[in-house]
């Protein structure tokens, strides 16, 4: 008969095996790669740090460094997070980069969205830290990877958030296992693992670091504020769904992976369609694109994805493409004399050459010349 104390150990082994399997199946990283961990000090990223250290010890990764970005949004609590991450890095023997960014000041000076600014600053710092790590450890930059601590819980929360507000093509895959951000390969090795399992994994470690209050990870009090959309979904929607299906994370993750497989296939076909039917209007994507009339002959789902791709190129990777903009472009295909204005002050027009998507200023300048 197994002793009761063996159950936590088995659970910890299951977490490690799940992460190891996710990395292998998704071709995230091997011993030929050096990895920068983005660590906030919360339970998910703290678990990621321990797991990554274990992966290096097992010969699965070539090297590690950590990055902590202090957004200076929560006063002493933010400083406490930084101190905890510093202790964690020292305990694990992992080089640590710390970056202080006054996000609130940037919001005041630019008028931008706080979450978008914070994200942009994090990944800008991550690229610089990864470049430095690769140089120091003797790896080419192409061998560098950034690991984030997004979990199955985060993915499920995204799924429900998008269910409420709507989403575009492929949106219900919720999160990609890896993506190219700021020219870096960003991987999410915890995407098949639940937060409760990760916390149990931390609790099994006798050498686990504790903060000044004795906690094994840092809690962000704003995560409990249900006036915030994600917190509302996390604390109100997901628990009710789990009452109906206690294995919600497992079943919904499997569903999202099926959606992701189909999304990858359609995305590849849409890219081929763009290469075949769409021509840039200038050296910069911001100058716009011309879609040949033949685009309208493709199946509607591919046309929708192709237009989404073109608008993303024109407006930038961080732009949230509105469904109304996509539909406005589709409505113009084949409609001679069609002209409309969409997000980003883009003009959409159609003539015998095809569908033209360009800045409104360029459209007006052409009209004047004509």
Q: Which residues are annotated as a binding site for ATP?
A: 40-45
The annotation places the binding site at: 40-45
Structure tokens at 147: 């690991």
Secondary structure (3-state) at 147: strand
Residue 13 neighbours by CB under 8 Å, 6+ apart: none
Cα dist from 119 to 113, 116, 181, whole Å: 10, 5, 11
Which residue, 8, 59, 13, 10, is CA-closest to 33? 59
Alpha helices, H only, 236-279: 238-244, 248-277
Secondary structure (3-state) at 342: strand
What's the rounded Cα separation, in Å, for the pair 63 and 48? 14
What's the rounded Cα separation, in Å, for the pair 40 and 66? 10
């Amino acid at each position: 008969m197994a002793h009761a104390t063996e159950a936590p150990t088995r659970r910890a082994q299951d977490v490690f095996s799940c992460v190891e399997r996710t990395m292998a199946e998704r071709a995230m990283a091997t011993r030929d790669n050096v990895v920068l961990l983005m660590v906030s000090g919360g339970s998910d990223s703290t678990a990621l740090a321990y797991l990554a250290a274990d992966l290096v010890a097992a010969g699965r990764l070539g090297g590690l460094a950590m990055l902590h970005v202090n957004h200076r949004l929560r006063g002493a609590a933010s400083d406490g997070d930084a101190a905890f991450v510093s202790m964690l890095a020292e305990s694990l023997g992992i080089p640590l980069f710390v970056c202080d960014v006054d996000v609130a000041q940037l919001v005041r000076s630019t008028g931008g969205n706080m979450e978008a600014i914070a994200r942009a600053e994090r990944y800008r710092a991550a690229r610089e830290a990864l470049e430095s790590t690769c140089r120091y450890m003797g790896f080419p930059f192409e061998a560098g990877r950034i690991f984030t601590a997004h979990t199955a819980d985060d993915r499920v929360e995204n799924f429900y958030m998008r269910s409420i507000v709507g989403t575009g093509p492929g949106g219900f895959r919720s999160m990609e296992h890896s993506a190219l951000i700021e020219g870096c390969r960003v991987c999410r090795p915890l995407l098949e693992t639940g937060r409760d399992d990760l916390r149990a994994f931390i609790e099994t470690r006798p050498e686990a670091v504790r903060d000044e209050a004795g906690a094994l990870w840092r809690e962000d009090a704003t995560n409990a504020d249900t006036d915030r959309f994600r917190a509302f979904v996390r604390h109100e929607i997901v628990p009710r769904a789990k009452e109906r299906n206690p294995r919600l994370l497992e079943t919904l993750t499997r569903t999202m992976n099926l959606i992701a497989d189909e999304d990858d296939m359609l995305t590849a076909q849409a890219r081929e369609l763009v290469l075949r039917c769409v021509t840039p209007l200038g050296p910069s994507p911001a100058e716009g694109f011309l879609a040949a009339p033949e685009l309208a002959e493709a199946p509607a789902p591919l046309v929708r994805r192709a237009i989404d791709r073109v608008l993303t190129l024109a407006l930038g990777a961080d732009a949230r493409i509105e469904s109304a903009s996509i539909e406005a472009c589709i409505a113009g295909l084949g409609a001679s004399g069609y002209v409309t204005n969409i997000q980003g002050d883009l003009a959409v027009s159609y003539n015998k050459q095809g569908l033209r998507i360009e800045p409104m200023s360029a459209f007006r300048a052409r009209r004047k010349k004509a």
